[in-house]
Structure formats: structure tokens, C-alpha cells
Structure 1
Amino acid sequence: MISISGGASWGQVKVEEYFTDENTVRGNNNNMDYRLPLQQMQHNVANHPDQTWLHQPVDRQWYTYTWKQADTQARKIAQGLLSHGLVKGDKVAIIAKNSAEWFITDMAMMMAGLISVPIYPTANADNIKHVLSHSGAKAIFVGKLDSQDALASVLPDDMLSIAFPYPTLSCKANWNDWLAQYEPISELHEAQADDMFSLIYTSGSTGLAKGVIVTHKNVASSACSAAELMAGEDKTRLMSYLPLAHITERCVVALPSLYKACDIYFTESLEYFIEDVRYAKPTSFISVPRLWTKFQSQILAKVPNKKLQFLLKLPVMGKFVAKKIRTQLGLDEAKLFGSGSAPISPDVLRWYHALGISIGEGWGMTETSGLSCANMPFDYDHIGTIGTAQPCVEMKLSDEGEVLIRGDAVFKEYYNNPEATAAAFEDGWFKTGDKGEITADGSWKIIGRVKEQFKTSKGKYVAPVPIESSLGRNPDIEQVCVMGVGRSQPIALVVLGEGAEATIEREALSQQLNDTLASVNNELEPHQKLDHLIVVDEPWSIENGLLTPTLKLKREQLEARFSHYLTANLDEQLVWEKAS
């Protein structure tokens, strides 16, 4: 056992069985020794082969995989890949919603010495074509997709394609056929620490994605740090539902499940999401701001916030109501909650805390192998911050206030893009593009992206993220985007929660929104004050091109869609896009 510490007073952290003296990699930052992912997988198979790992619902029946069963399937899939002529170092894409087969395929590729190239299941044809071409992928696994059209239009005729055992695009090979046809591979590839583990394409809010090379050492260090956050739980249960093509799900859920030996539960479809969460009863639950605010809106659609807050303050009734809500969400046994991928309003976090759901905000990037900084263990006084650095990284601020980071979890280069790589580093530190602050007690705050600042017609720069977070104090506001290029003052576009107009009369709702606008403006500098709050009708989504696959705002697309408001002469402070 050894002790490790993060870059910002993490203190002593106990690290147990997933660190070893044999076949280990020594981190250059914190003297960390850790097994690489496939080594840890084999450790689990050897030490508790019959312990459950993966839980997959199919047609409302649950199927369970032990470590040994998953290992056997992965060895067979690895043999199938090698039997089709793939060799060490070849790239293999995966485009699929989360499933047990996704996890097993990841293991199979490590066993065969291949490189996984995950693609978002919601990716459009241009992005799929770019990733397949740029990566040089030799094969692709295809799973559940909401629409098969984009992939079908760009999938090369000569590419080996393997279908997961779900209704999906017709492929050259089938998962179940390979399991029946091939014997398990006996000799596993032994990766080196600095070998490429995966080629991950950033979701990107603009343009085509860059390929980030993450190594076995990168993900091992990140996954070990994330697993340590769950230390103390006898048997951890996690939901895997955020896209596995994104680094967060891979390095905060999938890979840590190796190092903590967790139970992983999947969901069959969006229709059954809450039902599947209730079945799993996760002990830890990670989500993104868009979904946390969506859950909040669904709760408020059943009980107005004013009534809910009154009930929560009653000594006995408050605990009963909070527990009932947690139970309905399937989160009654969860002890650790997280939010990442984008900023979340501190007021939303305080609202959830009153329900007994204490959400620690985290921060990280594809280039930093996922979670790099987190308010975990949760500290109420650190709401509004991303807490302190994880043991696998060091962080500091540049003279301009940009967050710089280095460490075992930080990537070394973009794939076939030396110019972008050179521009991304400064004296060995990765330039994140995020503007940050450090509080007096050492906690970190992210106050926006360097490039998200815009200049008003008065020549003043405005950072939108802090203003958006402040508007989030109104629980009826579900989505918000502040813009203002060319205007004398910024404006805010908001989307209301699904229950707001159904449960509150337009006049009362208008007054509430005007009060929120006035409250926020009172806290802003003169050049930041919002001229108008514009209530738009259509929610922003991946499907209408206004959110990234990780549910971040696509600001350029939002500004293009609503550019008429940047030049319009508006009479009222509160503007409704849809008339009452």
C-alpha cells in the first residue's frame, strides 16, 4: 500500500489491491504504481471469477456476466478479430449505445493489441466519415443506434463490420456467430505503459474533431484515481448510460469498474431509463448538467417548487418527501453523486442537496483522460467549485488565468496533427482553454472558456458562463445561453422546464422570470447586465444541432439560429418567442 496526493492538498489517499509491485508503471508525478487495465481485468478474473460485473437488460429481461464469463467472451472476440487478418496496432471503431458488449469489445481489443476508436452513436455522416478515414480504422463494431442512416451512408463496402446482438445495421459478421465459431485466445497481448490505448475524437462544439491519443498509463492513472473516490463502499453499483465514446464514461465508470470491481448496469432504452435505474439501485450516480436539470424539471412538473421547498422545511414531512423523490428516481441507495462535462448552476446543486442528493461537480477533458478535479468527497462549502485536483495530475494558472495541467493522465499528442499538438502545450503543461480561479482554500473554479468570451458593441468583454450559472437559480429555467456580439448589452436565451407553463400561469411566470433577471443583473458589472431575457420555444438538443453529443451548448449554432435577436429592437425586457 502506498500514499498519493493530488496537486492541491488532496492529503493522504489509501490505494489498495489494484496497485502491485509486479508489472507496474511508475507515474512521473506522484510515484504511483498501478496495473494497466487488461492486467487489472485478469487480476479480477483470477481472484473472483464468479463475481458479477455486467448487467444487461434485453426485452425487459436482465442478463448477468461474471468476470470469467466476460473474459471468455472477450477472448473469443479477440480471436475473431485476429482471424480476420487484423494485427497489433490496427484501429477498430465502435459505434453503439452502451451495452455489456461494448465493455467486452474494449477488453477484446486490448487482448489482441488493437486500438479502439469510439464514435458517438448520434454522430452525423460527416463526422463518422471523418473519424473512419482519419483514424484509418480497419473494422467497426455496430450496436444499438437510434438511426442507422448516417452510418449506412458512409460505411465503406470493404470494411469488416461486426453487429452486436441487437437490432441494428446489417453487418458482415455477427457477435453471436463469433462466440459460437471461435475458441478463446490463450496468449494475451502485453501492452507497454506508453502504448496507445484508444484514439478518442473530441466531440467538439465546432468543426471536425481532433483525435486524442490516450495511452494505457493515461487511463490507468485516471481510472485508479476515480476508483479511489468510491473507496469504502462494500459493493459499488454504477449505471453506464452516458456515451462511452466520451472520456468521462470511459474513465469514470467503465475503467474504474475494473479497479474497484463494481457492478455495472446498463439501460435498455430511454423509455425504460428510470425503471432500469430503480432496478440497479446505484450506489454512485454520475450525470451531466443537462440531465440533472431535466430531472429537476420533471420533479417540478409534479409539484411546484414553492410547495416543494415548503414541504422540505417541515421536520418529519421534509425527510419523507425527499426520500420519496430519491426512491422514484431510483437513487435512494446512492451515496456519491457527480456532475461533469459542462458547468452546472450552484443553485441547482443546492436545490438537489435539500433532497439528500449532494452532487460533487467535476472537471476534466479528453486530453486529461477524464476526471482531473472534483468536489469529492462532497463539501457543501465548495459548491460552485470543481474542488481539488485528482492524484494523477497537477494544475496551475497561467498569467492570463488559463488552466494549465500536466501529469500521468495528460495526453502527449493529437493523432497525425503535430501543429495542433505543438500549439496545445507550453513548457510541458497542456493549455486547457478554460479560464479558472483558485479560491482561498485551494478549490478550483472554472469561469468559462477563453474563446467563449465575446465583445459587445461598447468594446467590453463578457464571459457568458458565470451569468448562465446565475440564471440557473430559477428552477423553471432548464437551458440558458448568453450572447451579445454587436449589441450594446448581452442578452440571454432560455428554455423553460417542461412543467413550467403547465403548472404556472403566464402572468405569474413572467413576473418570476423578471424577478430572476433583476436579481442577476443586480450582481453584475454594468457592461455585463442583460438587456433582455428571451424565452424560446424549442428545447436545444443533439437532434436539432444545438447540443454536442455530450450535451454542451453549441454556441456558434445557437448564435446563428437566433442571430435575429442580436440585431432586433426589443421593447420588453422579457420576450416570449411563442405568444401566449
Structure 2
Amino acid sequence: MREFSLPALYEVPTDGNLTDIVRRNATRHPDVAVIARKVDGAWRDVPARAFLADVEAAAKGLIAAGVGPGDRVALMSRTRYEWTLLDFAIWSAGGVTVPVYETSSPEQVEWILSDAGAVACVVELDSHAASVESVRGRLPSLAQVWQIDAGGVEELRRLGADVTDAEVTERGSLAKADDPATIIYTSGTTGRPKGCVLTHRSFLAECGNVVERLRPLFRTGECSVLLFLPLAHVFGRMVQIAPMMAPIKLGCVPDVRQLTDELASFRPTLVLGVPRVFEKVYNGARAKAQADGKGKIFDRAADTAIAYSRSLDTPSGPGLGLRLKHKLFDKLVYGKLRAVLGGNGEYAISGGAPLGERLGHFFRGIGFTVLEGYGLTETCAATTFNPWDRQKIGTVGQPLPGSVVRIADDGEVLLHGEHLFAGYWNNEAATAEALRDGWFHTGDLGTLDEDGYLRITGRKKEIIVTAGGKNVAPAVIEDRIRAHALVAECMVVGDGRPFVGALITLDEEFLGRWASEHGKPSGATAASLRDDLDLLAAVQGAVDDGNAAVSKAESVRRFRVLPTQFTEDSGHLTPSMKLKRNVVAKDFADEIEAIYQAK
């Protein structure tokens, strides 16, 4: 057993809660832009004083509508200014926010609102309102529904016109640090989602220590962050609250299809995202270079960036020749890539899935360092992360200051700290299984080095045992294969089988470009190309790269390219884009069987 901890950098006030953040900002930094909103296509800054006024006006409406202390209020919307406004307004009314993914089905909406006992709900779009309305007859506790795009925020403002400032101030101060702030329903790769109760203390400890440890990235009046992650996900909530605590300017993007344009117009100094965002930046730039006849130049530039980054971890650093090559490619390639990411930042924080060492070195080598972290809903997002001044690429960093990471005898990662969840809502059995003697049992496998840097090596429940008795952790090889531009998703199989195989889906966005470059018919699809020899050779290259990371017994011997995608709508991915392995295995049982029947 091995463990590592760091002292806390932020002390959580016992009688405080998250509403203190917006009140403090309005007092100390009244004219500092703490958030920006899109108005008629342009970014408009909202100073701390104005944001507090908006929050309190909405909170008064909630109070007037009958939302009481501790009442649960559901929030179903894309990532936008009103989401953040209403989150703080719910807390200011003494309520508890229950986020709902905006892609949720009516059945999922019904389960979450029913299990949480929500008394009110705010939705954004007509489709969201229709989902709630279709199940409202089975939700006896649900008394109020407002729609943002139908003037819901303005209606709350009118409702609360007679509520006094003193009343909203008193209501906002009722919750203490250990009271629930939110119930986030975990996506659930199996079974119904569980309601994860996160307290005000959880968020204050999490975000306060993140901000203090990464203080150069959170300089008030100088730094900014663009939020494009779903706010129903705990990582998105952390990205929302941490900038408010600093404070630095926060911008919200509801449509990631326009992300490149939004990055260019907002020009954030800090980007927080998931590995797929950074993979797409790399793959997109490489594909464009190849289309323009500059593929070899890009590949040399990429190799130089990776070599340069690796040399930064050596005592002597990069040599003269490498520095000169790096300077040349900075003008030709790297500067353009940094511009795609907004052109104004040097750091990003990545979470949700492993980034991969090669990509980590590539981005640091171009002058845009991606700090990888690790966390779960139950840990209020990041429970470990790489510090800005002591990064170890390939690890998910050191523990959050004030917390402890322990590796159990069987390799499971155990966690302890103020940022942990209080338990699962209405589910004592699941709580008792996950929280034992103050330690959260993550179900993840990992190792700690001598400096307390954590590496995640797999999931206990996802371990595959082949017919030969070999234990295989799928995460390592899946992440490597999925990093290829052609690959959308990869799921390793082989439990009880003679060797390891894989199901692979293709990235539809990149497939069209690849098909055109390789002389395939216009409009070719994954279904029409899945047996194409050129395509299979390209995918084999991705598999070979994945196999290089594992032993021969763990390597993928055969794979099947699927004609369809794993999506949330198909039921194969959770809203946080994790594979539902049991569902995939069931729905594609014939494809898995074909792997082992192939000659």
C-alpha cells in the first residue's frame, strides 16, 4: 500500500457556501468582468456587480414561486450565460441544483426529477420543454417549469419584484459548507444513474485549491477561460466555479460546432477541455497540411515539437540544433496551431479521459502546455492534476492540495479529502460500498511514483481475462488506438477468449477527407468502406501503434470495423462519452463472434 498527500492551500469556511463567491466579487472587484455573454453575435462583458444583481433578481423569483431551503431545482440547458446565472440563483434561494443533460431522453428526465424530488425545473429549448411536459403527469412534486428561450429568466425577475434584498440575502446564507449544493446524476455505464450529492464544501475545497495551486493561470483582470463543456457534467461545473473564485473572466459556448470561431473571438488565456478536443486540433491540422501538399513538413514539425518537449525533461535541455529547428517550425507551423486555440494562451487543462504521452509532448512542444488531470463525479472533478511548474507528461499529476491518494494492495485508487461527495441520494447501499472509513473506492487501478504523481492503468471491473489467464486492462491500448484520426471509438474484447480483439468505429468527419485523398467513391461511408483493403491497412496502423504500448499477450490480434457509430442516441455512450461496454457487447455480439471465427 502506498499513499501521497499535499497540504491544503485553501481553507473552507465552515459557515460559508457558494453564494459567498458572487457577493465577495461584487464587493472586492465590482467593475471586473467575471463573465461574458454573447449578444447579437458579439461578446459582452458582465462586471461582478451586474452579475450579482442578475443572480439576486432570479433568486427572488424562485423564492416568490415557492422554492424553499433545501428544495431541489432541475436545470436542463446547453452551456450558456443563463445556466451559470441560474445555478447561483438557485443557491441564493437556498435550493439545490439538479443538472440534467440537455440530450437526455424523457425517460431519463423522469427518473432524475422523480428521484431527486425536484419541485421546479428550468429548461432552455422547446425540445427540453416537450421532454419535461411528456412526463410531468408522473412527477407530483414538480410545481413549476420555466423555459429560458420563452422568457423564463425575465418571468422570474417579474415574480420576485416584491421580494426584498434582505430576504434574498438571508435565504442565501442559510446553507452551510456541509449542506448539499447539487445532485449530479452519474451517467451510468450500467443500470440507472445514481445521484451524487456534492456539498458546498466539496466545490469550495476543489476549486479553491485548484485556483491557488495554478494561481499564475488565474490572474484577476488578466486571464480568461472559455467554457464549452456541458454544465451537467462535474468537470463543466468546476470550470464554471473556479474562474468565479479567482476571479477571472468566463465565457460560455452552447454549440461546440463553432468552437474554433469562438476561440478566435474570445481569445482565452486558458482552455479546459477533454482529450478529444486536442486530438481533433492535431488531426485536423495534419489533414489540412496533407491536403495542401505540406504533410511532410507538418510531420517533421510534429517530430521536432515532441523531441523538444522530451528534451525539456533532461538535465541538459534541448541542444542548439533542436532549438534552431524548433524556432523555424514555430514560424511555419506552431504559431498557426496556437492561433486555432485562440492565440492568446499557453496552457490548457485536460480531463475526462487519458490524453496520451505523444500528444502531451506535441502540445508542450508547440508552446501550448496541456496539464492532464484525473477525477470523477464523486470527487467534484479533479482529484489529481499536473502543476503548471512541475508537469510529468504521461501522468495525471499529484493529489489536489488537502487530499490524499492511496494505492490499495490490489492496485485500486482510493481517495480522501474535503472535496469528496457526501454520498448517493436515496441510496445508502451504494454509498456504503463506495465510501468506507472515509475513503472513496474509485474502481480505477493506478500507481504512484516517488513524487506522488499518479498513473491510471485501468478499471477493476473492466479487466479482461483471456482464456490463457492473461489479465488485460483495456484503457491503455484503447486510448492509443482512438488517438488515430480515422478512429472514433475503440472497444477491446477478449474475456474468456483465446486472444484480444477490438471493435472499431470510424470518425465520420475525417473519413470523407481520407476517402477523397485515397481515390474512394464520393459519399463513401463506414458501411461501404469497412472491408476496403486500404482502409483496413490504415486502421491496422492505428492498432499497431496501440499494440506498441502493451505486451504481446495484451495486444489486439484482430479487429472489426463497424458500419455504425457508438453514440449517446444509440445507447452505446453515456452523456460524458464513456462506453457502455455491456450494451456494446450485447448489440454487437455477432461482430465479436466474427473476430474469433475469422481465418
Tell me the TM-score normalized by structure 1: 0.86
Distance in 2 between residues matched to 1:218 and 1:89, nearest whole Å: 17
Are 2:367 and 1:356 aligned?
yes
Equivalent AA in structure 2 for residue 555 of structure 1: R
Distance in 2 between residues matched to 1:303 and 1:507, nearest whole Å: 24
Q: Is the 8 A contact 2:349 2:370 kept in 1?
A: yes
Show the counterpart of 1:197. Answer: 181
Show the counterpart of 2:553. Answer: 527
Show the counterpart of 2:232. Answer: 245
1:457 to partner: Cα distance: 3.1
1:400 to partner: Cα distance: 1.0
1:209 to partner: Cα distance: 0.8
Show the counterpart of 2:155. Answer: 177
1:431-466 CA-to-partner distances (Å, cap 9, x unmatched) read: 111111112432101111111112323343321011
Distance in 2 between residues matched to 1:145 and 1:306, nearest whole Å: 49
State the secondary structure of the residue aligned to 2:564: coil
Unaligned 5+ residue runs, structure 2? 305-324, 520-531
Change (3 A) 1:569 1:199: closer
Change (3 A) 1:569 1:12: closer
Show the counterpart of 2:517. Answer: 503
Equivalent AA in structure 2 for residue 383 of structure 1: I
1:228 to partner: Cα distance: 2.0
Show the counterpart of 2:527. Answer: none
User: Once superposed, what is the RMSD of the aligned Cα atoms?
Assistant: 2.7
1:318 to partner: Cα distance: 1.0
Distance in 1 between residues matched to 2:52 and 2:335, nearest whole Å: 39
1:67-100 CA-to-partner distances (Å, cap 9, x unmatched) read: 1222112112111111122211111100001111
The partner residue of 1:434 within 444, 448, 461 is 444
State the secondary structure of the residue aligned to 2:237: helix
1:505-564 CA-to-partner distances (Å, cap 9, x unmatched) read: 676664454345445445533431212133334343323332221122222222223222
Are 2:81 and 1:100 aligned?
yes
1:478-499 CA-to-partner distances (Å, cap 9, x unmatched) read: 4322122343111123334414
Are 2:299 and 1:309 aligned?
yes
Show the counterpart of 2:479. Answer: 469
Distance in 1 between residues matched to 2:270 and 2:549, nearest whole Å: 35
Show the counterpart of 1:39. Answer: 20
Unaligned 5+ residue runs, structure 1? 1-6, 27-34, 168-172, 574-580
The partner residue of 1:217 within 184, 191, 201 is 201
State the secondary structure of the residue aligned to 1:214: strand
Show the counterpart of 1:269. Answer: 255
Q: Is the 8 A contact 1:93 1:140 kept in 2?
A: yes
1:116-168 CA-to-partner distances (Å, cap 9, x unmatched) read: 1111111122211111000000000111477655334223487344445426x
Show the counterpart of 2:14. Answer: 25
Distance in 1 between residues matched to 2:477 and 2:134, nearest whole Å: 41
Are 2:212 and 1:228 aligned?
yes
Distance in 1 between residues matched to 2:74 and 2:212, nearest whole Å: 30
Distance in 2 between residues matched to 1:569 and 1:373, nearest whole Å: 38
Q: Which moves more between the two structures, 341-350 or 516-525?
A: 516-525
Change (3 A) 1:549 1:114: same
Show the counterpart of 1:557. Answer: 583
Tell me the TM-score normalized by structure 2: 0.84
The answer to which structure has the higher helix fraction is: 2
Q: Is the 8 A contact 1:76 1:185 kept in 2?
A: no
Distance in 2 between residues matched to 1:358 and 1:572, nearest whole Å: 44
Distance in 2 between residues matched to 1:338 and 1:323, nearest whole Å: 20
Distance in 1 between residues matched to 2:244 and 2:47, nearest whole Å: 12
Distance in 1 between residues matched to 2:583 and 2:412, nearest whole Å: 25
Equivalent AA in structure 1 for residue 427 of structure 2: N
The partner residue of 2:401 within 357, 377, 391 is 391
Equivalent AA in structure 2 for residue 309 of structure 1: D
The partner residue of 1:334 within 309, 323, 345 is 345
Are 2:36 and 1:73 aligned?
no
Q: Is the 8 A contact 1:348 1:472 kept in 2?
A: no
Are 2:386 and 1:375 aligned?
yes
1:214-260 CA-to-partner distances (Å, cap 9, x unmatched) read: 11111110010122244124322111221111111112x11112210
Distance in 2 between residues matched to 1:415 and 1:96, nearest whole Å: 22
Q: Is the 8 A contact 1:37 1:258 kept in 2?
A: no
Distance in 2 between residues matched to 1:10 and 1:286, nearest whole Å: 23
Distance in 1 between residues matched to 2:6 and 2:101, nearest whole Å: 34
Q: Percent identity?
A: 27
Q: Which moves more between the two structures, 193-202 or 347-356?
A: 347-356
Are 2:258 and 1:258 aligned?
no
The partner residue of 2:70 within 53, 66, 89 is 89
Distance in 2 between residues matched to 1:55 and 1:518, nearest whole Å: 45
Equivalent AA in structure 1 for residue 166 of structure 2: S
1:390-469 matches, cutoff 5 A: 390-469=400-479
State the secondary structure of the residue aligned to 2:149: coil
Change (3 A) 1:299 1:241: same
Distance in 2 between residues matched to 1:298 and 1:238, nearest whole Å: 23
1:392 to partner: Cα distance: 3.4
Show the counterpart of 2:121. Answer: 140
